[in-house]
């Protein structure tokens, strides 16, 4: 062993920094929590939100920008406040995914908008559906996408046309208020609220009370970031409550009757957190007050300094459910909430696809388009179809599907056939039923790869290759164009996160990082869990179908049929080599 000389000895510590005598660490920077740190804005977004809130931009859109056109729009309004009214600029055609992270917003964006129509609870009349369809064909190049948050998104919208679009939507009770932005987003509701024969409670009154009291009010129009809500009274737990900021799930209390189990702090994006139960029972009449309390905690205690930490999930993770419940009950409610039981495991699949009996003896039909892609003309034709058969209402779902209500038994066979002709299947393959996709590079400025057509092509190919196989359970395939997980990749059996991969010739090709074995509570799964990632497990877009086919065949060959092993269970126990 060589003894160090003076020249290679360890450097001496500065005076006053010997062990046990370190200088005090600087105090941690404030998180921007209004009730703790004050309301002084700590970043540029917080500055303009306080100077002039997002709700105020509507008057400028109607009276200034619609007349002056795209070039007249103030940049802060364009990239900030417009979102409070459901408007995002869409991606300019022809810009490849490699430029997504290198170009400025004004270089990526086109002079057209995505417009999100807010549909709380997913509840629509055929009159409303027809208006959306007509707006699409007249103002949005016949575009229309069903989202996995029960909204409808239109594209190619010009600012000059927005006031007329609002006029038509609001004439039939629809709107775009707070469809985007740092606000309470659309309230997810059970697509079979008030109609299912096996429903525990109809959440519609609670959804209506929340939206009527709190959407568009200044008190909740400046949250740290978006705030997502889910409420269901159906035992299938059909609103993906585990990945929402606040969720209410119907449950029967042994003494207090039917009410809701309260969940908080869910969210995916680049850092996935599953919501946690607070262990409380919420009586139906208290839902709006409790909802407001959770939203107000987010407003007052949510982290505002860093945008990437400004979601409720981070506060819940730091506080824990016990402290969150204590603050909710002592600072925001008039009295503590009683303890309550957890909801039992779902007994049925929560997408409601197929033909099902309503409580009044009629039927509802859940149908599947390809990955939520429809069109204005198709929506108008669907409104006509329903009205021909005596129905005046339908629902959107959190799974990019539609549920059509009030169909008489004698008309079922004919209606199902007519829906097929529209490209809306009540008897889809397991792949068409289980596949969802985000907007992707076609319109989204954050996307890296194309999604809608990639997913559609994959479904068609997998139906041809694997159509004869008997899969023992539903299988979900979620395709996302970037890491932000709008298509919920971490909670899919097979989740695909878009990225560019080496093409072997020094260039790049569209592809995906693979997540396997995720899922939310369902009839085949006791509780929610996130997907598994395997180091280096990536697939090109061109190789996607081959990969999924290989994976499904391997699962069927390797699964433990004796315990009715699901794909997710197999994916979490399988060797990495089996997942390649």
Q: How far is 542 from 500, CA to CA, in rounded Å?
A: 12
Is there a contact between 289 and 244 (Cβ–Cβ < 8 Å)? no
High-pLDDT (> 70) share of the chain, %? 95
133 has pLDDT over 70: yes
Q: How far is 175 from 431, CA to CA, in rounded Å?
A: 33
13 has pLDDT over 90: no
Residue 12 has a pLDDT of 38
What pLDDT digit, counting tens, does each position of 453-505 carry? 999 999 999 999 999 999 999 999 999 999 999 999 999 999 999 999 999 99
What pLDDT digit, counting tens, does each position of 308-364 carry? 999 999 999 999 999 999 999 999 999 999 999 999 999 999 999 999 999 999 999
Q: Which two tokens stand for residue 183?
A: 């606000």
What pLDDT digit, counting tens, does each position of 217-261 carry? 999 999 999 999 999 999 999 999 999 999 999 999 999 999 999
Q: Please, what's the b/e burial string for 270-302 (b: 16 or more CB within 10 A of its CB; e: otherwise)?
A: eebbbbbbbbbbbbbebbbebbbbbbbbbbbbb
Q: Which two tokens stand for residue 382?
A: 């669907």
What the chain holds in terms of domains, given with CATH numbers, is 199-347 (3.30.413.10), 354-428 (3.90.480.10), 433-579 (3.30.413.10)
Find where tokens 């459910």 sit.
321
Is there a contact between 534 and 576 (Cβ–Cβ < 8 Å)? yes
Average pLDDT of the chain, as a whole number: 95
Q: How far is 287 from 104, CA to CA, in rounded Å?
A: 42
Q: What is the mean pLDDT of residues 266-295?
A: 98
What pLDDT digit, counting tens, does each position of 32-84 carry? 999 999 999 999 999 999 999 999 999 999 999 999 999 999 999 999 999 99
Residue 331 has a pLDDT of 98
Least confident of 85-94, 100-109, 541-550: 100-109
What pLDDT digit, counting tens, does each position of 382-401 carry? 999 999 999 999 999 999 99
415 has pLDDT over 90: yes
How many Cα neighbours within 13 Å face the side chain of 497? 20
Residue 106 has a pLDDT of 86
High-pLDDT (> 90) share of the chain, %? 94
Q: How far is 340 from 440, CA to CA, in rounded Å?
A: 41
What pLDDT digit, counting tens, does each position of 162-205 carry? 999 999 999 999 999 999 999 999 999 999 999 999 999 999 99
Question: Is the dihedral angle over the CA atoms 552, 449, 483, 53 positive or is it negative?
Answer: negative
- Indicate the pLDDT class of residue 27, thresholds 50, 70 and 90: low
Residue 28 has a pLDDT of 79
What pLDDT digit, counting tens, does each position of 435-459 carry? 999 999 999 999 999 999 999 999 9
Radius of gyration of the chain (CA): 25
């Amino acid at each position: 062993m060589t003894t160090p000389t003076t020249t290679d000895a360890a450097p001496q510590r500065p005076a006053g920094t010997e062990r046990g005598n370190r200088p005090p660490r600087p105090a941690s920077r404030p998180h921007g929590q209004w009730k703790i740190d004050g309301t002084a804005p700590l970043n540029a977004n917080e500055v303009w939100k306080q100077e002039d809130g997002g709700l105020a931009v509507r008057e400028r859109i109607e009276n200034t920008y619609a007349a002056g056109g795209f070039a007249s729009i103030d940049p802060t309004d364009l990239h900030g406040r417009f979102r409070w009214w459901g408007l995002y600029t869409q991606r300019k055609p022809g810009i490849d995914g490699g430029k997504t992270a290198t170009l400025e917003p004004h270089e990526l964006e086109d002079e057209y908008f995505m417009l999100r129509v807010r549909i709380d609870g997913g509840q629509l009349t055929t009159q409303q559906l027809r208006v959306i369809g007509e707006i699409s064909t007249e103002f949005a190049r016949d575009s229309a996408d069903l989202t996995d948050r029960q909204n409808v998104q239109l594209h190619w919208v010009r600012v000059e046309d927005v006031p007329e679009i609002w006029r038509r939507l609001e004439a039939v009770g629809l709107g775009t208020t707070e469809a985007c932005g740092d606000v309470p987003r659309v309230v997810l509701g059970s697509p079979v609220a008030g109609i299912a024969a096996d429903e525990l409670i109809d959440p519609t009154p609670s959804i209506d009370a929340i939206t009527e009291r709190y959407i568009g009010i200044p008190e909740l129009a400046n949250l740290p970031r978006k705030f997502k809500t889910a409420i269901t009274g159906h035992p299938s737990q059909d609103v993906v409550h585990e990945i929402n900021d606040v969720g209410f799930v119907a449950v029967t209390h042994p003494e207090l009757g039917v009410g809701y189990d309260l969940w908080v702090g869910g969210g995916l994006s680049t850092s996935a957190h599953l919501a946690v139960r607070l262990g409380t029972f919420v009586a139906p009449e208290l839902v709006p007050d409790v909802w407001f309390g959770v939203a107000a905690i987010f407003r007052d205690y949510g982290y505002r300094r860093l945008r990437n930490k400004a979601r409720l999930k981070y506060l819940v993770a730091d506080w824990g459910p016990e402290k969150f419940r204590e603050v909710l009950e002592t600072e925001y409610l008039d009295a503590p909430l009683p303890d309550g039981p957890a909801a039992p495991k779902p007994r049925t699949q929560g997408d409601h696809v197929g033909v099902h009996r309503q409580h009044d003896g009629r039927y509802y039909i859940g149908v599947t388009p390809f990955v939520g892609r429809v069109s204005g003309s198709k929506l108008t034709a669907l409104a006509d179809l329903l009205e021909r058969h005596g129905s005046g209402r339908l629902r959107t779902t959190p799974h990019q599907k539609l549920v059509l209500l009030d169909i008489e038994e004698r008309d079922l066979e004919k209606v199902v056939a007519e829906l097929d002709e529209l490209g809306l299947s009540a008897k889809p393959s397991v792949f068409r039923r289980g596949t969802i996709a985000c907007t992707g590079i076609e319109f989204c400025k954050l996307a890296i790869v194309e999604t809608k057509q990639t997913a559609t092509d994959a479904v068609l190919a997998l139906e041809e290759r694997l159509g004869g196989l008997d899969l023992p359970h539903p299988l979900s395939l979620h395709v996302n164009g970037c890491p932000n997980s709008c298509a919920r990749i971490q909670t899919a059996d097979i989740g695909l996160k878009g990225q560019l991969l080496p093409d072997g010739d020094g260039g790049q090709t569209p592809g995906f990082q693979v997540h396997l074995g995720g899922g939310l509570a369902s009839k085949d799964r006791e509780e929610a869990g996130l997907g598994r990632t395997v180091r280096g497990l990536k697939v090109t877009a061109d190789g996607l179908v081959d990969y999924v086919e290989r994976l499904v065949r391997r699962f069927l060959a390797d699964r433990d049929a004796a315990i009715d092993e699901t794909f997710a269970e197999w994916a979490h126990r399988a060797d990495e080599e089996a997942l390649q």
